[in-house]
Amino acid sequence: MSYRRGRGLSCAITLQGGHAVSTTATRIGSISLVCIPTPDQDRAIAFYESLGFEKRADVPFGGDYRWVEVYPPSGTAGIALAPPRPGSEVTPLETGITLTTDDADATHAQLRSLGVDVDAEVSRMGDPVPPMFWFRDPSGHSLMVVEQR
């Protein structure tokens, strides 16, 4: 007998001799946070809050450090805004973080009006690729905004 879960990683349970045997590789179920380094957590918090993100965690840890999490208005995955490792610099990176919008043009214009460093224009590659653009946070990290269809 087999059982397949509808959410998370697939899970097959086979009854062998009356005992359930799981064939799931891991118990990982979802992505909850993406961690990006920032040298100025307060500036990063203010930036993401100006985009409509909600700060859900801001707690001290490890002496002089803070653990900060911000989340977009919908969805369950957030961004952890972490200080860099001691003695290291923050290097701008392409985060791979993709945010969704129902209107790429309106969101692009809104971010530009807020003074956000956004691409000059919305990229249009044609179907099936949706309209998209990139923007940079105060640390120079790139995030993508994609029009959800």
pLDDT tens-digit profile of 32-66?
Answer: 999 999 999 999 999 999 999 999 999 998 888 89
User: Which pLDDT value is given to residue 55?
Assistant: 98
**Is 53 in contact with 43 (CB distance < 8 Å)?**
no
Q: Residue 130, Cα to own-chain centre: how many angstroms?
A: 19
Q: Is 47 exposed, middle or buried (0-12, 13-18, 19+ CB in 10 A)?
A: buried
For domain 33-147, the CATH class is alpha beta
For a pLDDT cut of 70, what percent of the chain falls above it? 84
User: Which pLDDT value is given to residue 16?
Assistant: 54
**Is 36 in contact with 139 (CB distance < 8 Å)?**
yes
Residue 18's pLDDT band (cuts 50, 70, 90)? low
* Numbered ranges of CATH 3.10.180.10 in the chain: 33-147
Q: What is the pTM of this model?
A: 0.80
Q: Is 3 exposed, middle or buried (0-12, 13-18, 19+ CB in 10 A)?
A: exposed
Q: What residues pair up with 70 in beta bridges, in sequence order?
A: 55, 79
Q: How far is CA 19 from CA 2, 13, 22, in A?
A: 12, 9, 10
Q: Which of 32-41, 65-74, 82-91, 119-128 has the lowest mean pLDDT?
A: 82-91
